Structure 1
Amino acid sequence: TQHNARATAQISLVSYDEQCILNLYVKPECEVRSYLSPLTGLSKEMLDQHGMSLDQAMAILRSHLPKHAILVGQNIRKDVEWLQLEEGKDFESVVDLAGITILGLVWNDQFSSFTYFGLDHTATCWLGQANSGAPHNAVTDAIKSMQIFKLYLSVQNDQKRVEELQKLLLATPLAPSFAKQHPTYEGCCMGNRKTCTCGAPFFS
């Protein structure tokens, strides 16, 4: 299965003060090759028991999402695309943590280029929340994103502190991603650029 062949299975919405507003599970409408359970924490049994149709989930999400909301997250535009939300209609705008230079992108003198850091690494370095190897969860990932965003707001005008945080990102060893540890899992290509076997395009 190609690394782009994915379906929405969990939708979360948290507030600025990190309170969970929604945690919805979506029952897949197509055949599932793998639930990637070690990565997602999801299973057929969970979605069969707690899942709803994507249309139902989106109706609930839109009823709780303020029109003036600013969506914050790592690669949040990809989430918006998956959920087919419309900027200016369903919400006001987005803040993509991956696109903020002092957060997701840091200049690396060693390679004379920007280095991209994912949510887990940034949370490990800045929040002291080391990835224990537990599966991802949309709610906890959203809360981490909000915590990182608020930290950014508090330091963005403090150049010394910004440089300290950037150095910490660069100096801390990266934990191997699931895709690096498992180039394929249960027949599904995980989209590691160096070991991809499915030949599907990369969009980021």
Structure 2
Amino acid sequence: MVLVRRCLPSRKAILVGQNVSKDIEWLGLREGEDFKGVVDLCGVWRTWNPKFKTYSVFSQDHLVRRLLKGQLELSEKHCAEGDSVKSMKLFQLWRELHHEPEKLQREKEKLLEGAPEPSFAKRFPTFEGVCMGNRKTCTCGAPFFG
């Protein structure tokens, strides 16, 4: 934790990731002190689903499969380095599109095509002793949003 804190340009860093608030909590980081802000990919890629009349949120691998077709190799094994590359590619795509609402919406509609594969959290409710926040199998008691 101390190493991560030392590597961050405090009050300047924007943390980017999939459900990044959990990582922030696990690392004991504090907004305004250790970092400036957050871009949670779950939030920026959430998509209105007219079928269910609610927002749908997707796993990082589903986002990669639908939005970055063939640009990245997906692996069954969890890999922090690979996840960070996926996060940055998804963030870069969102940055390119977020000022063009029609283009962004077209990309989001791709996310609703076909059934998503079960997320890592659904396949592995606990990973290395850490609750992955799966609503049905949660062991940590953290609140759920959305």
Q: Name the TM-score class by shorter chain.
A: 0.7 to 0.9
Match of 1:177 in 2: 119
Show CA shifts across 1:112-140 (max 9, x none).
Answer: 1111112111111111246342x111111
Is residue 2:24 matched to residue 1:80?
Answer: yes
1:95, distance to aligned residue in structure 2 (A): 1.3
Match of 1:153 in 2: 95
TM normalised by structure 1 equals 0.59
Alpha-carbon distance between aligned partners in 2 of 1:180 and 1:121, rounded to the nearest angstrom: 13
1:181, distance to aligned residue in structure 2 (A): 4.5
Identity over aligned pairs, percent:
42
1:171, distance to aligned residue in structure 2 (A): 0.4
- Matched position secondary structure for 1:171: coil
1:107 corresponds to which letter in structure 2? W
Match of 1:203 in 2: 143
2:5 corresponds to which letter in structure 1? R
1:110, distance to aligned residue in structure 2 (A): 0.5
Match of 2:48 in 1: 107
- Matched position secondary structure for 1:145: helix
Is residue 2:83 matched to residue 1:141?
Answer: yes
Is residue 2:13 matched to residue 1:66?
Answer: no
Distance 1:85-1:180 versus aligned 2 partners, 3 A rule: closer
Alpha-carbon RMSD: 2.7
- Matched position secondary structure for 1:148: helix
Is residue 2:64 matched to residue 1:123?
Answer: yes
Kindly indicate whether the alpha-carbon contact (under 8 Å) linking 1:184 and 1:190 is maintained by their aligned counterparts in 2.
Answer: yes
Determine which structure has more spread, i.e. the larger CA radius of gyration. Answer: 1
Q: Which structure is higher in RCO with an 8 Å CA cutoff and minimum separation 6?
A: 1
Distance 1:93-1:179 versus aligned 2 partners, 3 A rule: closer
- Matched position secondary structure for 2:112: helix
Is residue 2:37 matched to residue 1:96?
Answer: no
Is residue 2:109 matched to residue 1:167?
Answer: yes
Kindly indicate whether the alpha-carbon contact (under 8 Å) linking 2:131 and 2:139 is maintained by their aligned counterparts in 1.
Answer: no
Kindly indicate whether the alpha-carbon contact (under 8 Å) linking 2:59 and 2:120 is maintained by their aligned counterparts in 1.
Answer: no
Distance 1:94-1:143 versus aligned 2 partners, 3 A rule: same
Aligned length: 140
1:111 corresponds to which letter in structure 2? F
Distance 1:170-1:92 versus aligned 2 partners, 3 A rule: same
